């Protein structure tokens, strides 16, 4: 085994983007939607959506739906003596802190301030790093079908909130509006697409004006607002939810060079005598030949850090030079 110190120019860092569908079906479009038939105490906060019946083998959560209201409307109070403190108000506060990092902030869709929203959270197992902008396509049904996407294909500079990048949700496809800005200025955009936290917020005001999809904002009553959005997603004759995830993979490329005068002799017992260190065959003294099969990387304290195996042995002698490129992903 022979050693050689690597030079700084032997290292190169490369960054690649790897994309995949967000759904466990491995299909780019999710077209079947199911909720659990078992009642849970969490139902007043959120409901999970599956790609098939929740009790069917292979069923997995794809995303969850929640409804938040600043005044706590649409759900029963935790305590009748404390009006307005309910699950929808809790949900509103949680998302406000998550998105804005400010308990006094207001949700703004386009230029319109809203006091409530629907939230779609993609299940954590469905993506590795974040969602891929421009791949969000959701069809909702109401008085007619509405196709939604993010406006990432129409902006030249990304906008950031405390949670990361933010894009407006518009009427369009693959990140581009069907016409104009893709929404009405009077009702605001259809919501916010937050790829770095895999969250989609929908604006009830814009949806109510477009397809008559509106939550019920009763006080101290558990309304089925989560179910309203679920039925709008699953009830279309052409129900579809398209979304991809994206992961940034950083790779280190290490170029290991062996010049013509290097690595031509071996310490293998078949090459030299173990007792005297003499070359066993005289023909190998002036014309040796070795076979490179493995490249090991050591630090200055002689700790083995990584090993690269060649697909086949690489012949080496004084007439040959070799360059082995090793890729380290992490």
CA Rg value for the chain: 30
Assigned domain for 45 exists: yes
The angle at the Cα of 156, spanning 171 to 168, to the nearest 5 degrees, equals 30
My answer on whether 182 and 164 are in the same domain is: yes
Contacts 24+ apart (CB under 8 A), 150-158: 150/175, 150/193, 151/175, 151/176, 151/177, 151/181, 151/182, 151/189, 152/193, 154/182
My answer on whether 277 and 158 are in the same domain is: no
**What residue numbers bound the domain in which 215 lies?**
23-242
- Determine the pLDDT at residue 143: 84
Assigned domain for 36 exists: yes
The angle at the Cα of 113, spanning 112 to 116, to the nearest 5 degrees, equals 120
My answer on whether 111 and 148 are in the same domain is: yes
Assigned domain for 68 exists: yes
Assigned domain for 140 exists: yes
The tens place of each residue's pLDDT in the chain, 330 residues long, gives: 678 899 899 999 888 888 999 999 999 999 999 999 888 889 999 999 999 987 888 899 999 999 999 999 999 999 989 999 999 999 999 999 999 999 999 999 999 999 999 999 999 999 989 999 999 999 999 888 999 999 999 999 999 999 999 999 999 999 999 999 999 999 999 999 999 999 999 999 999 999 999 999 999 999 999 999 999 999 877 889 999 999 988 888 999 999 998 887 766 666 666 566 666 666 666 678 888 999 999 998 999 999 999 999 999 889 999 999 998 876
Per-residue tokens: 14: 């490369």
- Determine the pLDDT at residue 149: 98
My answer on whether 177 and 33 are in the same domain is: yes
- Provide the number of structural domains found in the chain: 2
Assigned domain for 1 exists: no
- Determine the pLDDT at residue 263: 86
Assigned domain for 3 exists: no
Within 13 Å and on the Cβ side, how many CA atoms surround 254? 16
Answer yes or no: are the C-beta atoms of 143 and 212 closer than 8 Å: yes
My answer on whether 174 and 79 are in the same domain is: yes
My answer on whether 93 and 205 are in the same domain is: yes
My answer on whether 53 and 126 are in the same domain is: yes
Q: Considering 221, 242, 263, which residue would you say is the last residue of a domain?
A: 242
My answer on whether 193 and 303 are in the same domain is: no
The angle at the Cα of 206, spanning 203 to 208, to the nearest 5 degrees, equals 105
Q: Considering 192, 218, 242, which residue would you say is the last residue of a domain?
A: 242
My answer on whether 286 and 194 are in the same domain is: no
My answer on whether 182 and 136 are in the same domain is: yes
- Determine the pLDDT at residue 159: 96
Answer yes or no: are the C-beta atoms of 240 and 139 closer than 8 Å: yes
- Sign of the CA dihedral running 195, 22, 328, 301: positive
Answer yes or no: are the C-beta atoms of 162 and 53 closer than 8 Å: no
Answer yes or no: are the C-beta atoms of 326 and 259 closer than 8 Å: no
Per-residue tokens: 69: 């209201």
State how far the Cα of 285 lies from the Cα of 17, in Å rounded to an integer. Answer: 50
Question: Which pTM does this prediction carry?
Answer: 0.79
Assigned domain for 173 exists: yes
DSSP states of 41-63 as a string? GGGGTEEEEESS-TTSTT--EEE
Neighbouring residues of 293: CB distance < 8 A, sequence distance ≥ 6: 309, 310, 313, 314
Task: Indicate the burial class of 278 (C-beta count within 10 angstroms; 0-12, 13-18, 19 or more).
Answer: exposed
- Determine the pLDDT at residue 267: 64
Task: Indicate the burial class of 84 (C-beta count within 10 angstroms; 0-12, 13-18, 19 or more).
Answer: middle
Unique residue bearing structure tokens 């101290």: 220
Q: Considering 211, 242, 273, which residue would you say is the last residue of a domain?
A: 242
Assigned domain for 2 exists: no
My answer on whether 125 and 268 are in the same domain is: no
| CA 205 to chain CA centroid, nearest Å | 29
My answer on whether 172 and 256 are in the same domain is: no
What's the longest Cα–Cα distance across the chain? 99
């Amino acid at each position: 085994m022979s050693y050689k110190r690597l030079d700084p120019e032997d290292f190169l860092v490369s960054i690649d983007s790897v994309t995949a569908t967000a759904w466990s079906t491995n299909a780019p479009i999710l077209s079947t939607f199911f909720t659990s038939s078992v009642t849970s105490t969490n139902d007043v906060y959120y409901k999970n959506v599956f790609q098939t019946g929740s009790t069917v083998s292979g069923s997995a959560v794809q995303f969850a739906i929640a409804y938040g209201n600043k005044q706590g409307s649409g759900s029963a109070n935790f305590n009748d003596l404390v009006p307005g403190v309910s699950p929808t108000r809790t949900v509103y506060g949680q998302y406000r802190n998550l998105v804005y990092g400010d308990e006094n902030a207001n949700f703004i869709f386009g230029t319109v301030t809203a006091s409530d929203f629907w939230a779609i959270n993609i299940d954590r197992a469905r993506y590795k790093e974040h969602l891929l902008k421009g791949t969000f396509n959701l069809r909702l049904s109401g008085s007619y079908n509405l196709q939604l996407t993010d406006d990432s294909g129409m902006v030249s500079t990304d906008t950031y909130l405390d949670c990361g990048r933010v894009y407006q949700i518009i009427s369009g496809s693959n990140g581009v509006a069907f016409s104009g800005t893709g929404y009405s200025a009077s009702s605001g955009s259809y919501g916010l697409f937050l790829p770095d936290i895999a969250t989609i917020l929908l604006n009830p005001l814009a949806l109510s004006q477009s397809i008559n999809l509106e939550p019920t904002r009763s006080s101290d009553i558990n309304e089925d607002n989560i179910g309203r959005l679920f039925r709008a997603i699953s009830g279309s004759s052409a129900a579809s939810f398209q979304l991809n995830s994206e992961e940034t993979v950083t790779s280190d490329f290490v170029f290991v060079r062996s010049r013509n005068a290097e690595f031509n002799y071996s310490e293998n017992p078949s090459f030299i005598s173990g007792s005297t260190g003499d070359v066993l065959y005289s023909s190998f003294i002036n014309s040796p030949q070795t076979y490179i099969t493995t490249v090991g990387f050591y630090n200055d304290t002689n700790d083995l850090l990584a090993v690269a195996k060649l697909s086949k042995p690489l012949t080496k002698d004084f007439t040959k030079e070799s360059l082995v490129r090793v890729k380290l992903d992490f």
